[in-house]
């Protein structure tokens, strides 16, 4: 297999098929690092099977940690929401990008320094936890500027304050650069869009802490003490790439933004270790994908290969749809190598109901 470099500078093996596991993932790993929106809940409501699956994983001894790029809410607020949904959680079970960026700032400025905050209460609480002092104006002589998602009511003037300070040479930090954020009415601009406003005004580049970058992974490991962590997410470019950069295994669940077509086209850093429909995948083993490019890749009752003309993925057999998808992943990723797969997967996915 080819080698790929992760965000920590270490090389990674280029994944060409999903892995199998002879034991339940909740037993093979000591800690699940769970994304929230699209994994545990959607539109504020629990996703089907999530509550029962998490309860069973926790009862079996797996530590559950909830990891979010959203810097607006405090860990206590996130934990309260989870508890309301039927997933008991404490503030210490929640790790946010606000906490990751606060640590990043604290490592570069003296304790007690003022930090200009462009965002919400989650950022302010995280900064105080690190002995830093949140301020509201560029004229308050801040030692750093930090941006995090501030919600739809964040005044436009806050971006001007950030721009004034950054233009003066004040170090600039961002909790994350997700361009969008899902909500009950649809997709809204995320913190990354707000960061772009200041970038355009100043020409500067922020230091970023959130997923998929390593400061967020480091924060999560420090706070959870995980020794065998499993990242669980629905986004290839944040959750799965974050696991890749951290050098740990990942489980993609298909309850959020990633559909099977995107999964098949994934570049190496976006290829998960395991694939399952939802969080019930934590409670089971994972089937092996066997075979070769020459003979086809098999999983369950399915065999996936590349058409003789080399322009499409082909699927033969019958069985569980997820097994067919896992076999298709092997065919697609093997053919693509270190690139994104561009083969036509339409007919193969249609056979599986996608």
Positions marked active-site: 35, 37
Is 14 within 8 Å of 244 (Cβ atoms)? no
Measured CA to CA, the distance from residue 215 to residue 219 in angstroms comes to 6
- Residue 187 has φ and ψ, to the nearest 5°, of -95, 130
Alpha-carbon radius of gyration of the chain? 21
Q: What are phi and psi of 5, to 5 degrees?
A: -90, 130
CA distance 264 to 13: 18
Angle at 179 between CA 332 and CA 197, to 5 degrees: 145
Query: What one-character-per-residue DSSP string does 129-167 give?
Result: HTT-EEES-GGG--SEEEE----TT--THHHHHHHHHHH
Of the chain, the end-to-end C-alpha distance in Å amounts to 30
**CB-count burial class (<10 Å; 0-12, 13-18, 19+) for 111:** exposed
- Give Cβ neighbours of residue 59 (< 8 Å, ≥ 6 apart): none
């Amino acid at each position: 297999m080819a080698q790929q470099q992760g965000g920590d500078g270490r090389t990674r093996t280029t994944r060409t098929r999903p892995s199998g596991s002879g034991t339940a993932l909740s037993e093979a790993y000591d800690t699940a690092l769970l994304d929230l929106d699209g994994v545990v809940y959607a539109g504020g409501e629990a996703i089907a099977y999530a509550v029962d699956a998490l309860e069973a994983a926790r009862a079996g001894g797996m530590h559950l940690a909830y990891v979010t790029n959203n810097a607006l809410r405090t860990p206590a607020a996130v934990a309260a929401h989870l508890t309301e949904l039927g997933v008991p959680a404490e503030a210490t079970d929640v790790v946010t990008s606000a906490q990751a960026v606060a640590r990043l700032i604290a490592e570069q400025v003296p304790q007690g320094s003022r930090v200009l905050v462009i965002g919400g209460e989650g950022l302010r609480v995280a900064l105080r936890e690190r002995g830093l002092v949140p301020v509201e104006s560029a004229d308050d002589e801040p030692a750093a500027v930090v941006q995090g998602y501030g919600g739809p009511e964040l005044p436009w003037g806050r971006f001007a304050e950030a721009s004034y300070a950054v233009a003066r040479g004040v170090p600039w930090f961002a909790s994350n650069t997700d361009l969008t954020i899902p909500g009950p009415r649809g997709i809204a601009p995320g913190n990354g869009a707000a960061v772009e406003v200041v970038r355009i005004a100043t020409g500067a580049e922020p230091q970023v802490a959130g997923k998929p970058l390593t400061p967020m992974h480091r924060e999560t490991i420090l706070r959870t003490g995980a020794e065998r962590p499993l990242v669980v997410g629905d986004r290839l470019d944040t959750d799965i790439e974050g696991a890749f950069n951290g050098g740990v295994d990942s489980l993609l669940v298909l309850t959020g933004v990633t559909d099977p077509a995107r999964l098949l086209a994934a570049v190496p850093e976006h290829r998960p270790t395991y694939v399952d429909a939802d969080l019930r995948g934590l409670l089971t083993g994972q089937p092996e994908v066997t075979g070769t490019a020459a003979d086809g890749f098999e999983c369950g009752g399915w065999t996936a290969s590349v058409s003789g003309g080399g322009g499409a993925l082909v699927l033969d057999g019958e069985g569980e749809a997820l097994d067919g998808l896992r076999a298709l992943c092997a065919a697609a990723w093997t053919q693509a190598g270190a690139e994104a797969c561009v083969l036509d997967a339409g007919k193969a996915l249609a056979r599986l109901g996608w």
